[in-house]
Amino acid sequence: MSSEESCDVIDLNAHSNYFNRELSHLQFNSRVLKQALDKNHPLLNRLLFCCIFSSNMDEFFEIRVAGLRQQIKYGRESIGPDGKAPTEVLAEIDRVVHGYVDEQYSILNDVLLPELEAQGIRFVKRADWTDVQTAWIEKYFEDEVLPVINPIGLDPSHPFPRLVNKSLNFIVSLEGKDAFGRETGMAIVPAPRSLPRLVRLPDDVCNGGDNIVFLSSIIHAHAEQLFPGMQIKGSYQFRLTRNADLELEDDDMVDLASTLRGELLSRRFGDAVRLEVVDNCPEELVAFLLKEFNLTGAELYKVNGPVNLARLMAVGRLTNRPDLEYPSFTPGVPKNVRSKEKIMDAIKQRDILLLHPYETFTPVIDLLRQAAKDPNVLAIKQTLYRTGADSEMVAALVDAARRGKEVTAVVELRARFDEEENLELASRLQEAGVVVVYGVVGFKTHAKMIMIVRREDGVLRRYVHLGTGNYHAGNAKLYSDYSFMTCDPALTDDVHRIFQQLTGMGKALKIKKLFHAPFTLHDQMISLIDRERVNVEQGKEGYILVKVNALTEPKIMKALFKASRSGVKIDLLIRGICCLKPGIPGLSENIRVRSIIGRFLEHTRVFYFHNEGKGDVYCASADWMSRNLINRVETCFPIENKKLSERVKEELDWYLKDNCQSWELKPDGSYGQLTPQEGEERFSVQSALLDKLAAR
């Protein structure tokens, strides 16, 4: 059989063509953890990567693992393109994650902590406390901890407490009788959530350097004060992770905000999905906890150190060691923005494209601030997903409403883990007179849009901002995202129509230039992929270069397979989850998949299609996932200015050139980190973008 004939019989639906979504997600977290060993990162940033791994894994268990367990519990098992059933996936997750956690604590104990100590940052163990330190810690316990801690003895009148998700707790083994003659043998001590998990010892009780003790060590050392007259046989840390996904039944919902407030109360006490305990905890206590939480040994993680490493993120704030962190930089400001006093004047002159964090987010904030104060501005509309109730952008919307402008905010209350803050944000806006709507029930509003209506020379002109990331000034310093500002009449009219759909009711309106989910974006992406395939089949050139955070949507993957089979060269820059297998002969040998992990979180969603040399460039708020393309409100906007589109293509090419922060996906599902070859110059795309765009 010829190679051409073998291609024709390949089944695009075959499970062997796809990776499992959850296991690919874990691969991303593994790449994050590997950064803790990369000495190209400063030491405190390496510690931060170790912490981020913990934070990522928390969410993975709270949402992804919890979701799989729910499918099994209620008999609603869903099979993905890879063909693996939830029970099979959970078994593989257990195997993989136990290995990752062992690796993480080995990195912490054997690499990071010794290197930190060599730099004068010490985590002082109880056995090493001096008399002076012991006295200071005892006073700290009596003044700060004892008044707020609440030990709970276990007996028939004190059942096992309902512990909050991810809280630090201790199981204490006791001997003796208390004042009432009770002899229970066990107690639970929840660590006060109001107290810091890391405590820096004062310089006057130390011999130089930064000396830190864990709150857990302080509680361990003074456990007997919590149970006077009782003998402490042992005290052991543990931490429970619960299902934190919110279940909102659209059919029964009358008021989204009220329903969400009720669900948020239950999030802290969802079903248990993981138990972490210190590895010296006796087996009988471990068995007791597992039984109490209805978990098995597969969900148990014994750790050689603190049960919540994410709390080590505070080390940078406690130590003030800029020499052990990345140097600060000032984000750049494009010349055409600097030269204009008003952002709208700059936009009127030409479209503006900013790449954060290398270029400043301030012009986006200034656009709203200036619009709020401009007497010629009549109306402002904005979508808000992850913003923060106290942000400068929210303050500008409040100011605009109080000045009598028509202000509308589409607040997505269901932005995961930001729901409570978004409820507060919505209340603040409503109190100021902003018209607040919550988008469309059943479709998260994930699009990033601002529209400003201004009267100029007797006519109304619209200005819009479209972005790939959230309206969060803090995230704009850490996440790479594009901001696009224009007053192009067709694009601004498209944004106006999408806002109409979000705030009103009616049939889907005709959109001229934008692609938008859930209506046209999915089909348009497939159409653009197919156009490259057809061009190659007709003997023309074809090339696709895409940068997204995740690729899981089956029809998109099949379109890419078809294009690859026809000879289209495809480069995919996918930070996280990728379910498509590259490098399969006759199917995906023309597809290359890379992931960039570095100082900044890669977050841009960018699409480049060769289109017979025209070079079409689009940016979007959406990843190539079913939830984005089918179940959300998203926008994808063209970069039509030739200079700007060429700039985006050049920056994408730099990502392909990266040979030190780039990981290439292999057909077997593993990732190999690219390194400079002999005689090859080291090239970091994030460093290059800093040099090009930031004001060093």
The pLDDT of residue 230 is above 80: yes
Q: Tell me: pLDDT of 415 over 80.
A: no
pLDDT at 424 over 90: no
Helices (H) and strands (E) in the chain, counts: 23, 27
Label residue 132 by pLDDT band (50, 70, 90).
very high
Q: Evaluate whether residue 332 is within a structural domain.
A: no
Stretch 409-418: mean pLDDT? 78
Say whether both 640 and 605 belong to one domain: yes
Indicate if 545 and 674 belong to the same structural domain.
yes
Identify the domain containing residue 129 by its residue range.
Answer: 17-324
Is the domain of 84 the same as that of 117?
Answer: yes
Mean predicted confidence (pLDDT) in 543-552:
98
Predicted confidence at residue 4, as pLDDT, reads 41
Q: What is the pLDDT of residue 251?
A: 45
Q: In this structure, what CATH number is given to the domain that contains residue 148?
A: 3.30.1840.10
Tell me what the mean pLDDT of segment 5-22 comes to: 82
pLDDT: is 179 or 393 the higher one? 393
**Does 244 lie in the same domain as 310?**
yes
> What's the CA gap between 383 and 502, in Å, rounded?
10
pLDDT in tens, 283-321: 999 999 999 999 999 999 999 999 999 999 999 999 999
Question: pLDDT-derived band of residue 263, with 50, 70 and 90 as boundaries?
Answer: low
Which of 292, 324, 356 is the endpoint of a domain?
324
Residue 335 lies in a domain: no
For residues 31 and 150, state if they share a domain. Answer: yes
- Tell whether 522 and 504 lie within a shared domain: no
pLDDT in tens, 35-86: 999 999 999 999 999 999 999 999 999 999 999 999 998 888 889 999 999 9
Residue 331, pLDDT above cutoff 90:
yes
Q: What percent of the chain has pLDDT over 90?
A: 81
Give the chain's domain count: 3
Whole-prediction pTM value?
A: 0.93
Q: Does 350 fall in a domain? A: yes
How many angstroms separate the CA atoms of 239 and 64, rounded?
18
Mean pLDDT for the stretch of residues 256-264: 55
Q: What is the three-class DSSP state of 573?
A: strand
On the 0-12 / 13-18 / 19+ scale of CB atoms within 10 A, 656 is middle
Same domain for 288 and 374?
no
Q: What is the pLDDT of residue 1?
A: 32
pLDDT of residue 153: 85
* Within a domain: 666: yes
Look at residue 253 and tell me whether its pLDDT is greater than 50. Answer: no
3-state secondary structure of 181: coil
Task: Determine the pLDDT at residue 2.
Answer: 36
Same domain (yes/no): 492, 531: no
DSSP 602-671: E---EEEE-TTTT-EEEEES--BSHHHHHSEEEEEEE---HHHHHHHHHHHHHHHH-SSSEEEE-TTS-E
Q: What is the pLDDT of residue 651?
A: 97
Tell me, yes or no, whether 120 and 231 share the same domain.
yes
User: Which pair of tokens denotes residue 685?
Assistant: 């795309």
**Contact (CB, 8 A) for 149 and 226:** yes
Residues 363-371, mean pLDDT to the nearest whole number: 96
- Residue 258's pLDDT band, with cuts at 50, 70 and 90, is low
Instruction: List the single range of 384-388, 537-541, 635-639 with lowest mean pLDDT.
Output: 384-388
Judge whether 12 lies within some domain.
no
Taking 90 as the threshold, does the pLDDT of residue 569 lie above it?
yes
For residues 32 and 22, give the distance between their C-alpha atoms in angstroms, rounded to a whole number: 16
Residue 530 and residue 488 share a domain: no
Q: Mark whether 277 and 357 lie in a shared domain.
A: no
CB 675 within 8 A of CB 659: yes
Does the residue 6 lie in any domain?
Answer: no
Q: What percent of the chain has pLDDT over 70?
A: 93
Q: Are 432 and 401 in contact (CB under 8 A)?
A: yes
* Average pLDDT across the chain, whole number: 92
The domain spanning residue 672 has which CATH number?
Answer: 3.30.870.10
Last residue of a domain, one of 324, 358, 392: 324
Active site residue 446: yes
Are 498 and 469 in the same domain? Answer: yes
3-state secondary structure of 383: strand
Q: Is residue 9 in some structural domain?
A: no
User: Domain boundary at 324, 351, 380, which?
Assistant: 324
> Which residue has better confidence, 438 or 2?
438
- SS3 of 422, please? helix
Out of 41, 220, 356, 446, which one is annotated catalytic? Answer: 446
Residue 4 lies in a domain: no
